[in-house]
């Protein structure tokens, strides 16, 4: 008699309140995909969502710039905030290019994301690999204790295994777990928050929930505020069913707020005012 291995992500999908969050996200995404502007101008909506998503992710990492300033600037090689904005923009541009690799080797994608984010700003031997024992981590927003380098390596392998094995869990659940786990591990010496939010974006796109990448969850995470983001993440970190469910719901609300942002973009394009 054969047995089927349990699906941990699907188990999370059964937590109280998660099904409601998943359903709400799906309905919101379906509405924006059904907007008449999406029939002919979806590329413009995608480009605008990428810009706004990058701005939102950078804001959570301490570079809270006005959208028009992000749009206007071309040189991001200056101070720390400029470098964060530049990293966020590069990551957003890269995300869509890594979907096929993500399905085959998530760890390669994470390494690539850190390489893209760092953009030469970190020592070469520290870029694109998980941190070693004793190496510092620059991630001021997340103050939770750092797992050891050995724990990071083991949990990254476990996360990769979950992704490669596939899951019946909704895309929102998988995306929230990938995001939360990377925040918890902070596997790189820098830009972990940006990488975690980009990985969430990759899951949402690659799962088919948001294939055109027009629902920038990063916008919603930023709109809910840094304090709300940290509080929800602490729920994930607690490992309790209630805490994990609250984190998934928080990520779902972020997607819905991203949908609202892109709906406004569609309306502006329809009026000829974008």
CA quadruple 203, 208, 213, 219: dihedral positive or negative?
negative
DSSP of 176-216: HHHHHHHHHH--SSB-HHHHHHHHHHHHHHHTTSSTT----
pLDDT at 79: 87
DSSP of 226-262: HHHHHHHHHHHHH--HHHHHHHHHHHHHHHHHHHHHH
pLDDT at 4: 54
Could you read off the pLDDT of 155-202 as tens digits, one per residue? 999 999 999 999 899 999 999 999 999 999 999 999 999 999 999 999
Note whether 189 and 126 are within 8 A (CB).
yes
Instruction: Supply the pTM of this predicted model.
Output: 0.94
CA atoms within 13 A on the CB side of 181: 22
pLDDT band at residue 126 using 50, 70 and 90 as cut-offs: confident
Note whether 49 and 38 are within 8 A (CB).
no
Q: Is the pLDDT of residue 76 over 90?
A: no
Give the percent of the chain with pLDDT over 70: 96
Q: What is the mean pLDDT of the chain?
A: 93
Could you read off the pLDDT of 5-43 as tens digits, one per residue? 578 898 998 899 999 999 999 999 999 999 999 999 999
pLDDT band at residue 77 using 50, 70 and 90 as cut-offs: confident
pLDDT at 111: 96
Hey, what are 143's tokens?
A: 């103050």
pLDDT band at residue 210 using 50, 70 and 90 as cut-offs: very high
Q: Is the pLDDT of residue 124 over 70?
A: no
Radius of gyration of the chain (CA): 18
CA atoms within 13 A on the CB side of 157: 5
Could you read off the pLDDT of 227-266 as tens digits, one per residue? 999 999 999 999 999 999 999 999 999 999 999 999 999 9
Q: How many whole angstroms separate alpha carbon 215 and alpha carbon 53?
A: 9
Hey, what are 94's tokens?
A: 């890269």
Q: How many whole angstroms separate alpha carbon 251 and alpha carbon 234?
A: 13
Could you read off the pLDDT of 139-153 as tens digits, one per residue? 889 989 999 999 999
């Amino acid at each position: 008699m054969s047995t089927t291995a349990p699906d941990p992500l699907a188990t999370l999908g059964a937590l109280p309140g998660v099904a409601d969050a998943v359903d709400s996200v799906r309905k919101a995404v379906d509405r924006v995909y059904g907007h008449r502007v999406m029939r002919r101008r979806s590329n413009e909506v995608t480009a605008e969502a990428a810009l706004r998503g990058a701005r939102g992710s950078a804001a959570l990492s301490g570079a809270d710039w006005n959208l028009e300033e992000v749009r206007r600037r071309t040189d991001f090689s200056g101070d720390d905030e400029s470098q964060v904005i530049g990293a966020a923009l590069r990551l957003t541009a890269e995300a869509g290019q890594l979907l096929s690799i993500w399905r085959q080797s998530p760890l390669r994608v994470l390494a690539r994301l850190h390489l893209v984010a760092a953009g030469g700003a970190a020592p070469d031997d520290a870029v694109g690999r998980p941190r070693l024992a004793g190496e510092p981590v620059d991630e001021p927003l997340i103050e939770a204790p750092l797992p050891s380098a050995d724990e990071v390596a083991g949990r990254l392998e476990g996360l990769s295994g979950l992704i490669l094995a596939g899951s019946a869990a909704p895309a929102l659940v998988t995306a929230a777990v990938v995001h939360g786990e990377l925040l918890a591990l902070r596997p790189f010496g820098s830009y972990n928050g940006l990488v975690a939010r980009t990985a969430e974006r990759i899951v949402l796109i690659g799962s088919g929930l948001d294939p055109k990448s027009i629902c920038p969850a990063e916008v919603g995470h930023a709109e809910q505020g840094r304090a709300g983001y940290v509080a929800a993440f602490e729920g994930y970190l607690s490992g309790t069913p209630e805490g994990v469910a609250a984190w998934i719901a928080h990520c779902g609300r972020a997607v819905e707020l991203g949908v609202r942002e892109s709906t406004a973009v569609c309306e502006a394009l329809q009026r000829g005012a974008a």
